[in-house]
A = this chain, B = another copy of it.
Amino acid sequence: MGEAKSGLQLRTLLKKSGELELSLVDVPTPEPADDEVVVRVEASPINPSDLGLLIGPADMSTAQVSGTKASPVITAKMPEAAMRMMGGRFDQSLPIGNEGAGVVIKTGASDAAKALMGKTVSMIGGAMYSQFRTMKVRDVMELPAGTTPADGASWFVNPLTALGMTETMRRENHKALVHTAAASNLGQMLNKICLKDGIGLVNIVRSKEQADILHKIGAKHVVDSSAASFMDDLTGALVETGATIAFDAIGGGKLAGQILTAMEIAANKTAKEYSRYGSNVFKQVYIYGSLDNRPTELSRAFGLTWSVSGWLLTPFLQKIGPADIGRLRQRVASELKTTFASHYTKVVSLQETLDLANIAVYGKRSTGEKFLINPSKGG
Contact = CB atoms under 8 A, between A and B. Distances in A.
A251 B295 contact: no
A51 to B, nearest CB: 10
B304 A312 contact: yes
Contact of A304 (B252, B278, B288, B298): B288
B296 A298 contact: yes
Interface in A284-326: 287-288, 290, 295-301, 303-312, 314-315
B85 A277 contact: no
A257 interface: yes
Contact of A251 (B92, B278, B300): B300
Contacts of A92: 274
A296 B300 contact: yes
A239 interface: no
B304 A311 contact: yes
B309 A307 contact: yes
Nearest to A280: B315
A268 interface: yes
Contact of A312 (B56, B297, B305): B305
Contacts of A295: 254, 257, 297-300
A274 B305 contact: no
Nearest to A51: B276
Interface string A15-53: 000000000000000000000000000000000010011
Interface string A321-352: 00000000000000000000000000000000
For chain A, give the interface size range.
Answer: 35 or more
A172 interface: no
Interface string A86-115: 111100101000000000000000000000
Contacts of A89: 274, 276
A88 B270 CA distance: 11
Interface string A238-281: 00000000000001101001000000110010010111111010
A268 B87 contact: yes
Contact of A52 (B254, B276, B310): B276
A125 to B, nearest CB: 15
A251 B298 CA distance: 10
Most chain B CB inside 10 Å of its own CB: which residue of A252, A254, A265, A301: A301
B310 A309 contact: no
Contact of A296 (B252, B274, B297): B297
Most chain B CB inside 10 Å of its own CB: which residue of A49, A56, A275: A275
A49 B306 CA distance: 18
Nearest to A293: B300
Contacts of A277: 49, 52, 312, 314
Given A88-B271, A268-B88, A310 B303 contact: yes
A277 B288 CA distance: 10
Interface of A: 49, 52-53, 56, 84-89, 92, 94, 251-252, 254, 257, 264-265, 268, 271, 273-278, 280, 287-288, 290, 295-301, 303-312, 314-315
